[in-house]
Structure 1
Amino acid sequence: MKALETARLFASLTISIAALPGLALADTSKITLPEEHPFPESITSTEDGTLYVSSISDGGVLRVTPGGEPEIWIEPGAFETRSTLGVLADEERGLLWVCSNDISALGVQGPSDVKGGFLKGFDLKTGEGKVSYRMPNEKSVCNDIAVAEDGSTYITNVAADEILKLAPEAEELEVWFTDPDVKGGLDGLAFGPDGNLYANTYTGGELFRFDVEDGEAKGFEKLETGPLTKPDGIRPIEGGFVMVQGGGDLNRITVDDGAVEIETIDTFAEPTALTVVGDTIWVAEGQLAYLFDEKKKEQPRPEFNLRSVPLQ
């Protein structure tokens, strides 16, 4: 009798949980992107678990609300955008920051003919375009974004190996850091628990720390990590970072002064970016070889997915 009562109680509880909004018993470890939003380059999230995904090939921004289906939230070409790369939700300012770029020189036309690289800001509630800042360097590809505690926004220019800054009340981007010894495609960007900026280089396969003092760059250090394979998106977590490498790895990174420890959490299909929602890491499988590799670009496109793993 006790076993029967336990079974009934479990069944009742299961039904109750399934009925709660935003919860489901189905496997939620994979979200397949629609065909009109391939090649995800970056992903970000808000505190409620909503995901935002860019597309390096087709532009626009995809949104996935908790328990909802993927939907095109910002249409390709909207607010004079082109190919979309880095995205970052800035809930303090109510903005979704989006990197928009002309990468036609790489054979990717994108949804418009707007020239140059831009940092764009969209209203997080409505998706309306609010602000737009053109990158000053003619050789510019806005790649990744990080926001400081004082509200300053920083971006990497992967085409010219420089970091740009937008101060809270500024009307234009300024070059915050550049140095000939830092080369190889500055890419993923994040603030560490020590208040300094960390960035990797996509083709160089390196990780750098940029010392920040009163909002100014006060030197840098190349951290000894061992060989990295196309390091890309990086996001802060308690005690360090999580980062993806285009070669497949999702890593946990701990930095103690100049000592770096890298642990592999899982592997994915050519990941380009990640975001952390509570105790879950969502990874975008960009599979950019099918866009840029001459041998693969003629093959049928694969399925593009967001996949999640626990942050342990």
Structure 2
Amino acid sequence: MKMEVKGDAAKRGALTALGAAGLIWMLAGVAYAETPVGVPDKSFPESVTSTKDGTLYVGSFNEGGVVKIAPGGKPEQLVKPGANGSRSTLGVLADEKSGTLYVCSNDLSGLGVKGPSDAKGSVLKTFDLKTGADKGSFALGEGASLCNDIVVGNDGTAYISDSLAPNIYSLKPGATKLEVWATDPAFAPAKDGVGLDGIAIGADGNIYLTTYIPAKLFRVAVKDGKPGAVTELKPSRALDHADAMRAFGDSFLVIEGAGRLDKVTVKGDEAQIDVIQDGLTEPVSVTQVGNTGWIAEGKLSYIIGPNKGKDPGPFVLKPVSLK
């Protein structure tokens, strides 16, 4: 998330433009032409997810909705802006097992981002992964909330991070509303800061999270589906605006808003931070397809930050080797 939240506001970043040219995919061995993939012009996407066939799904911070980009194809509107009462789109997650696309919808008007509708509040929306048809709508808690990102466990339970309240929500298969699964004062955003951001499930079955400002890493122990001890992990070096987090084998991929993609390996209560790629431009999210990480460079400062009104240039999903 590429921004600092004040009052009842919200957060981060985006992509846009170039057209989906020049992409060669061979998914059997997952070999790629290392060519950035463009997304729709004038849209500031905020999060990216993928399916095993290499299709990418991208949400839009300002325009809402979700576009999908099949291997070698052009962006197609899967979820229309404003669909199912949605507004600005932050976290997106494709769950192939259930055929569901999870989408974090938020009212960002407090940041001057109107979005595609007048829907209020922070809501988890679900859509059919193939057709984009509406499946469900689940509001976060009352008061200040910001649905940020999602992860789904082996049993089909979805877990959702809230950047403005110290809560992790859960949505079990067939449930009609979100439950507060875990809450802890350590998750609360600092003054003018942003709380919980990325969320992932580790190889050990525990839940791991980032906070954006200040940048921290946390582990929530999980036993029989219930939360246990919350531990702040000690990183091998300080993180700078810890953002999206995805499981990566027995480690994690973590985006730093300062311009880095990291591999994070947890041993005990310590986290080893190894840089995979530096020099990225306001990155906001990452998804893995085979040996390639696709990174969304959000450039949110051009819509809600000091560069607002300036030309951000094209927005792309940038491929980075994970070998």
Q: Which TM-score applies when normalising by structure 1?
A: 0.89
- The code of the aligned residue for 2:222 comes to V
How big is the shift at 1:22? 11
Corresponding position: 1:220 with 2:239: no
Task: Check whether the contact 1:22–1:67 (CA below 8 A) recurs between aligned residues.
Answer: no
**Greater RCO, CA 8 A, separation 6+:** 2
Structure 1 residues 178, 270: CA separation in 2 closer, same or farther (over 3 Å shift)?
same
CA distance in 1, matches of 2:166, 2:317: 28
1:285 maps onto 2:290 in alignment:
no
Quick check: which one's helix share is greater?
A: 1
Provide the residue aligned with 2:277 in structure 1. 266
Query: Which residue of 2 is the match for residue 296 of structure 1?
Result: 307
User: 2:166 touches 2:186 (CA, 8 Å); kept in 1?
Assistant: no
Query: Which residue in 1 is equivalent to 2:9?
Result: none
Q: 2:53 corresponds to which letter in structure 1? A: D
Aligned pair count reads 292
Residue identity opposite 1:32 in structure 2: G
Correspondence 1:69 to 2:74: yes
Q: TM-score, normalised by structure 2?
A: 0.86
Q: Which residue of 2 is the match for residue 7 of structure 1?
A: none
Q: Match for 1:106 among 107, 111, 129?
A: 111
Within 5 A, what are the aligned runs for 1:194-209? 194-209=204-219
Q: CA RMSD in A?
A: 2.0
Q: Which residue of 1 aligns with 2:174?
A: 169
1:40 counterpart = 2:45 = yes
CA offsets per residue over residues 240-289 of structure 1, 9 Å max, x none? 11111111000001111212111101121111000001111100001111
Query: Counterpart amino acid of 1:249?
Result: R
Aligned to 1:146: 151
- Go from structure 1 to structure 2 and tell me whether the alpha carbon gap of 1:263 and 1:19 turns closer, same or farther (over 3 Å shift): closer
Cα separation, 1, equivalents of 2:197 and 2:102: 16
Q: Kindly indicate whether residue 254 of structure 2 is the aligned counterpart of residue 254 of structure 1.
A: no
Alignment counterpart, residue 86 of structure 2, candidates 74, 77, 81: 81
| Cα distance between partner residues in 1 of 2:230 and 2:58 | 31
What one-letter code is carried by the residue in structure 2 that aligns with 1:224?
K
In structure 1, distance between residues paired with 2:319 and 2:264: 18
Distance in 2, Cα, partners of 1:57 & 1:227: 31
Distance 1:176 1:21 in 2: 37
2:46–2:59 contact (8 Å) kept in structure 1 = yes
1:111 deviation in Å? Answer: 0.7
Aligned to 1:239: 250
Shift of 1:92: 0.7
CA–CA distance in 2 between the matches of 1:260 and 1:139? 31
What is the rounded CA distance, in whole Å, between the counterparts of 1:19 and 1:163 in structure 2?
36
Give the CA deviation at 1:21.
11
Question: Displacement of 1:181 after TM fit?
Answer: 2.5
Quick one: percent identity of the two aligned structures? 45
Picking from 49, 52, 55, the partner of 1:50 is: 55
SS in 2 for 1:181: helix
Find runs of 4+ consecutive structure 1 residues off by over 6 angstroms. 18-23
Q: Gapped runs of 5+ residues in structure 1?
A: 1-17
